[in-house]
Amino acid sequence: MQMLAWLAVAIMVLFATAAWLAVWSRSDFWGRPAAVALFLLGMPAIAAAGVQVLGHHRPMSLAWELRPGDHRVLSAKMVQDEAIYLYLDGGRSEPWPVMLPWDNEAADRIQQLQNEARPESHGQFMLRYEPSLDVHAPQFHPLPQPPLLPPKPVPDAAPHLEQSA
């Protein structure tokens, strides 16, 4: 993630230099406002693209394509006092790597869920994601129980009887 920060700083310096040259040039042309607009609009776009294409774990606040609801956590790695790294299965072809800030309660809950998981779940559990400005710890819970019985067959629709008036 540090490489991305240095790359963003280098691009910002290039954009700032182009904007500075355009603003302080002697001739009056349309390039001045275009250079300033490029600088103001280009930085967030380049930062968003850089965060999106990197394969590193992103903070949960930057996972903008993550929909609210329950997501299966395929694996978790907890690094003490640094972060909690998760791979989420969101129904796409590849898992989403996300990062949560370190929280002792969340780490204990994850460890408890992994220890108590059924053998067929391979230590996986669920994460309930709700985007908000609240900084509370995310909610983790075990995978749903598989059905014990097969589903009942759906009977054919009952014949519709019309009443005559």
The whole-number pLDDT of residue 3 equals 63
- Whether the full predicted model's pTM is greater than 0.75, yes or no, is no
Q: What is the SS3 string spanning 42-100? A: HHHHHHHHHHHHCCCCEEHHHCCCCCCEEEEEEEEEEECCCEEEEEEECCCCCCEEEEE
The whole-number pLDDT of residue 79 equals 92
Which residue(s) pair with 55 in the sheet?
none
Q: Structural domain boundaries of the chain? A: 2-53, 58-141
pLDDT at 157 over 70: no
DSSP-based helix, strand, coil % in the chain, nearest 5: 40, 20, 40
Contacts of 55 (CB under 8 A, 6+ apart): 97
Q: pLDDT band at residue 28, thresholds of 50, 70 and 90?
A: low
Measured torsion, CA atoms of residues 110, 114, 116, 117, in degrees rounded to the nearest 10: 130
Fold for 58-141, please state it: OB fold (Dihydrolipoamide Acetyltransferase, E2P) (2.40.50)
Which residue(s) pair with 58 in the sheet?
98
Give the 3-state secondary structure of residue 128. strand
pLDDT at 87 over 80: yes
